[in-house]
Structure 1
Amino acid sequence: MPKKIILDVDPGHDDAIAILLAQGNPDIELAAITSVAGNQILEKTTYNAQRVATLVGATDIPIAAGAKYPLMREQITDGEVVAGSVHGVSGLDGPELPEPAMDLDPRHAAELIVDLVMAGEQDEYTLVPTGPLTNIVLAMRLEPKIVDRVKEVVLMGGAYTQGNATPAAEFNILADPEAAAAVFAAEWQVTMVGLDLTHQAVATPEIKERIRAIGTPISRVVVEWLDFFGANYDSVWKMPYPPIHDACAVARVINPSVVQVKEAFIAVETQGKWTYGETVTDFLGSYGLPFNNLAATTLDFDAFWDLIIDAIKQVS
């Protein structure tokens, strides 16, 4: 049976490819999309989620807008963290996309998450957040029992070496560290698919040629996304090929062997002057605390891109 996921996003070019992968893979049932402020303000990320869902044919699932602001900290967006926005003014600059073919679900994202999880069977849903974790913690507060009912949380965020928004912190975690701290500390399985893993998932020229060779309107859009995102990523981060961060979390759900993990104790720093938002990851048991979560370490590059390319063909 396909694995049911709720995809919580802040599109973002890599979020867009995560939506495409979830929609185009037969082993995934995309049960809902929820949006959160992150790469851009909520109105833009929600609109982007609707446009991408329309592009890939995910028009019959609920899409709900969520949190406009972090729990406690001042709001930051992609363009405020780096010297110029990696994703552009709209949050998803580049090729023209269709207008949304669906209305928004009237519920808040947290309400939609709770309603689906609580109406489902035990361990029926996996949460896949690829932006700040505000919606997830709001759902936990609205209905604490979801922690016991969700199969697992596979999130894109964090790092066990160094960040990208600060030397210590990755953007999704830094955007709402207090929410992230609560999600990692809850008694459910959290897999951190962080920068250490996602920086292995780069779109090389050979990969772009494989996508271009598909020769469909959607494959052309993906190539244009990679071109726009890649040029900005190179100018800001000095990486010649763009990493497709968020799709790695979806790939982990589809086939765990594509994204290898290690057990670890993971906590989010919320007090440090220089380390605010750091995902402190202990693989050795130095703190004497239980290995409560999983940290992604190694990507099967070829298998990952095979999943993406097959999904593009499926939705084209």
Structure 2
Amino acid sequence: MARRVVLDCDTGTDDAVAIMLAGLSAELELAAVTTVRGNVPVDVVTENTRRVLQLIGRSDVPVYEGAARPLERDDFPVPKAQLTGFEMHGTYLDLPPASGPPEDASATDFLITEARRHLADGSRFTLVATGPLTNVARAVRSFPPMTHAIDTIVVMGGGHAVSNVTAAAEFNLWADPEAAAEVLSAGFSDLLLVPLDATHRALLSRDDCSRLRAAGTPAGIASAQLVEQRIVGHDDSQPMAERGTAPVHDAVCVAALLDRRLLTTVEAHVDVETQGRLTVGRSVIDLHHRTGRKPNARVAVDASPVRLMAQLLNAFSSREPAPDGPVSR
């Protein structure tokens, strides 16, 4: 029986690869995608999400638009326009516009309805959150029993030794630190945190892109172009130790549901700084158990690029060839 999954995302480049992986993997039932402001404004996120689903023939998956601003703040800790340097997502993905409107219900309302349904019949679902955690925090605030309807929540965010938006913080947790702190303390029975420390270990290369493109499918071609876009962005502004490679953070989170050996994890207590002038949004990961606080997460500390590629190729090599066309921006 396929594992029922809901994705909560802010679709730019790596979210798009994650959506395709979830939507095409036989082991997963992609029940819905909820959208949140993050990489781009939420209306753009919603359109990008629907374009990706349409590309892979999964327009049947409903998309629910979510939060346009953080949980407590009027904007990011620093308006994104004032940040310098790193930007790779562009705005709209260069795919055909989606046909028809998104769902009428909000992302928060959908998450609560989904949780109630599962609690009523004694089942549970998996939530993969690859953007700011605003929608999830709002849903838990409105319906605390939601945590009992979720078997695993996978959160892409944070970093122990690695950051990307400030010297201290990773973007997803920094973009809404109050929401992230609430989600981490909400009492989920199994919270898997996938920080930059792990995703920066599962780097994809131009050779990997060639292998994806050779699959000859819509997802293979699109993912190759999106990863190549990420490689250019990283080489330009945040180069990896090996140039010509890039992380595809959100895809790692979905692939980890398909291959338990993809990630190496440790149990630790994780909190998020919400006040620090220099450290707002920083994930405080107590890897050495200095605080004595009970672990609230499984934290990924390593990830396998070989196993990530195996999952991408397995999912993206089983559909009909795609027409030619750009997908980069």
TM-score for the superposition, normalised by structure 1? 0.94
Q: Is the 8 A contact 1:111 1:142 kept in 2?
A: no
Q: Aligned partners of 2:23, 2:117: CA distance in 1, in Å?
A: 22
Matched, 1:312 2:316: yes
- For residue 220 of structure 1, report the CA deviation from its aligned partner: 2.3
The amino acid that maps onto 1:191 is L
The amino acid that maps onto 1:211 is L
User: Which digits, 9 at most, give the CA deviation of each residue in 1:102-142, with x for residues without a partner?
Assistant: 53111110111111121024452111010000000111122
Q: Aligned partners of 1:127, 1:214: CA distance in 2, in Å?
A: 29
Q: Is the 8 A contact 2:12 2:45 kept in 1?
A: yes
The amino acid that maps onto 2:260 is P
Q: Which runs of 4+ in 1 moved over 6 A?
A: none
244-253 vs 212-221, which moves further: 212-221
In structure 1, what is the equivalent of residue 141 of structure 2? 141
* Partner SS for 2:203: coil
**C-alpha spacing 1:54/1:79, structure 2 compared with 1 (3 Å):** farther
Q: Aligned partners of 1:235, 1:63: CA distance in 2, in Å?
A: 33
In structure 2, what is the equivalent of residue 112 of structure 1? 110
* Partner SS for 1:119: helix
* Partner SS for 1:314: coil
In structure 1, what is the equivalent of residue 194 of structure 2? 193
In structure 2, what is the equivalent of residue 287 of structure 1? 291
Residues 26-45 of structure 1 aligned to structure 2 (within 5 Å): 26-45=26-45
Q: Is the 8 A contact 2:204 2:305 kept in 1?
A: no
Q: Aligned partners of 2:319, 2:128: CA distance in 1, in Å?
A: 20
- For residue 71 of structure 1, report the CA deviation from its aligned partner: 1.3
Q: Is the 8 A contact 1:131 1:156 kept in 2?
A: yes
- For residue 156 of structure 1, report the CA deviation from its aligned partner: 0.6
Residues 1-316 of structure 1 aligned to structure 2 (within 5 Å): 1-76=1-76, 80-83=82-85, 85-88=87-90, 90=91, 92=93, 96-120=94-118, 121-122=121-122, 124-188=124-188, 189-239=190-240, 240=243, 241-316=245-320
The amino acid that maps onto 1:51 is R
The amino acid that maps onto 1:83 is G
Q: Aligned partners of 2:312, 2:124: CA distance in 1, in Å?
A: 24
- For residue 85 of structure 1, report the CA deviation from its aligned partner: 2.3
User: Which digits, 9 at most, give the CA deviation of each residue in 1:199-242, with x for residues without a partner?
Assistant: 12222122112112212344222222122222112111023212
**C-alpha spacing 1:21/1:217, structure 2 compared with 1 (3 Å):** closer
* Partner SS for 2:246: coil
**C-alpha spacing 1:245/1:27, structure 2 compared with 1 (3 Å):** same
**C-alpha spacing 1:167/1:292, structure 2 compared with 1 (3 Å):** same
* Partner SS for 2:140: helix
User: Which digits, 9 at most, give the CA deviation of each residue in 1:70-107, with x for residues without a partner?
Assistant: 0123424766534252111x153xxx312214531111
* Partner SS for 2:15: helix
User: Which digits, 9 at most, give the CA deviation of each residue in 1:261-286, with x for residues without a partner?
Assistant: 11001011111121111110112221
166-175 vs 117-126, which moves further: 117-126
21-30 vs 215-224, which moves further: 215-224
User: Which digits, 9 at most, give the CA deviation of each residue in 1:148-205, with x for residues without a partner?
Assistant: 2211210111112231111111000000000000000111121110100111222212
Q: Aligned partners of 1:100, 1:129: CA distance in 2, in Å?
A: 23
User: Which digits, 9 at most, give the CA deviation of each residue in 1:28-78, with x for residues without a partner?
Assistant: 110100000000111111110110111112211211000000012342476
Q: Aligned partners of 1:78, 1:200: CA distance in 2, in Å?
A: 27
TM-score for the superposition, normalised by structure 2? 0.90
Q: Aligned partners of 1:286, 1:102: CA distance in 2, in Å?
A: 53
Q: Aligned partners of 1:85, 1:279: CA distance in 2, in Å?
A: 22
In structure 1, what is the equivalent of residue 323 of structure 2? none
Corresponding residue pairs, total: 312
**C-alpha spacing 1:82/1:74, structure 2 compared with 1 (3 Å):** farther
Kindly report the root-mean-square deviation, in angstroms, between the aligned alpha carbons of the 2 structures.
Answer: 1.7
Q: Is the 8 A contact 2:64 2:104 kept in 1?
A: yes
The amino acid that maps onto 2:290 is S
